[in-house]
Structure 1
Amino acid sequence: MTLPRLVASDLDGTLLRSDGTVSERTRAALRAVEDAGVEVVLVTARPPRWLDPLADCVGGHGRVVCLGGAAVWDLAEGAAIEVHGFADDELRALVADVRAAVPGVALALERVSGPVFDPWFPPDETGLPPAVRAVAVEESLDDVAHPAGTVGKLLAVVPGRGLSTRVGDVQRGHRTDAAQDEFFAAVRTAVGDRAHLAFSGAAGLAELLPAGVTKDRALARWCARLGIAAADVWAFGDMPNDLPMLRWAGRGIAVANAHPDVLGCADLVTDGNDDDGVASVLERALAGR
Structure 2
Amino acid sequence: MTGARPLPRLVATDLDGTLLRSDGSVSDRTRRALAATEAAGTEVVFVTARPPRWLHALADLVGGHGRVICLGGAAVWDLGSGAALEMCGFDDGVVRSLVADLRAAVPGAGLAVETADGPAFDPWFPDGEPHLDRRLRGAPVEGALRAGDPVAKLLVVRPGTPAQGFGVVQRGDVHDAAQEEFFERVRGVVDGRAELHYSGAAGLAELLPPGVTKDVALARWCDRLGVEARDVWAFGDMPNDLPMLRWAGRGHAVANAHPDVLACADAVVPGNDDDGVAAALEAVLDAAAPSDGHTPSAPLSR
The TM tier, using the shorter chain, reads over 0.9
Is this contact kept in 1: 2:154–2:208, CA < 8 A? yes
What's the CA shift for 1:126?
A: 2.5
Secondary structure of 1:110's counterpart equals strand
C-alpha separation between the residues in 2 aligned to 1:153 and 1:165? Answer: 21
Deviates more, 1:108-117 or 1:231-240: 108-117
Q: Which runs of 5+ in 2 are unaligned?
A: 289-302
For 2:294, the equivalent position in structure 1 comes to: none
Output the TM-score relative to the length of structure 1: 0.95
What's the CA shift for 1:162?
A: 2.4
C-alpha separation between the residues in 1 aligned to 2:100 and 2:71? Answer: 22
For 2:30, the equivalent position in structure 1 comes to: 26
C-alpha separation between the residues in 1 aligned to 2:102 and 2:163? Answer: 18
Structure 1 residues 81-160: aligned runs within 5 Å: 81-142=85-146, 147-149=148-150, 151-160=151-160
% of aligned pairs identical?
65
For 1:227, the equivalent position in structure 2 comes to: 226
For 2:203, the equivalent position in structure 1 comes to: 204
What's the CA shift for 1:166?
A: 4.4
Aligned residue pairs, count = 284
For 1:255, the equivalent position in structure 2 comes to: 254
For 2:10, the equivalent position in structure 1 comes to: 6
4+ aligned runs moved over 6 Å, structure 1: none
C-alpha separation between the residues in 2 aligned to 1:164 and 1:241? Answer: 24
Deviates more, 1:20-29 or 1:120-129: 120-129
Is this contact kept in 1: 2:166–2:202, CA < 8 A? no
Secondary structure of 2:131's counterpart equals coil
Secondary structure of 1:21's counterpart equals coil
Deviates more, 1:238-247 or 1:121-130: 121-130
Residue 55 (str. 1) matches residue 59 (str. 2): yes
C-alpha separation between the residues in 2 aligned to 1:50 and 1:203? Answer: 18
Secondary structure of 1:8's counterpart equals strand
Q: Which runs of 5+ in 1 are unaligned?
A: none
Secondary structure of 2:256's counterpart equals coil
Is this contact kept in 2: 1:124–1:162, CA < 8 A? no
Output the TM-score relative to the length of structure 2: 0.91
C-alpha separation between the residues in 2 aligned to 1:148 and 1:210? Answer: 14
Q: CA RMSD in A?
A: 1.3
Cα deviation code 1:119-170 (max 9, x no counterpart): 011122321111011010001113x5xx342x21100111122267444511
C-alpha separation between the residues in 1 aligned to 2:232 and 2:127? Answer: 38
Secondary structure of 2:50's counterpart equals coil
Cα deviation code 1:37-64 (max 9, x no counterpart): 0011000000000000111111000000
What's the CA shift for 1:82?
A: 0.2
Q: What code does the residue aligned with 1:161 have? A: T
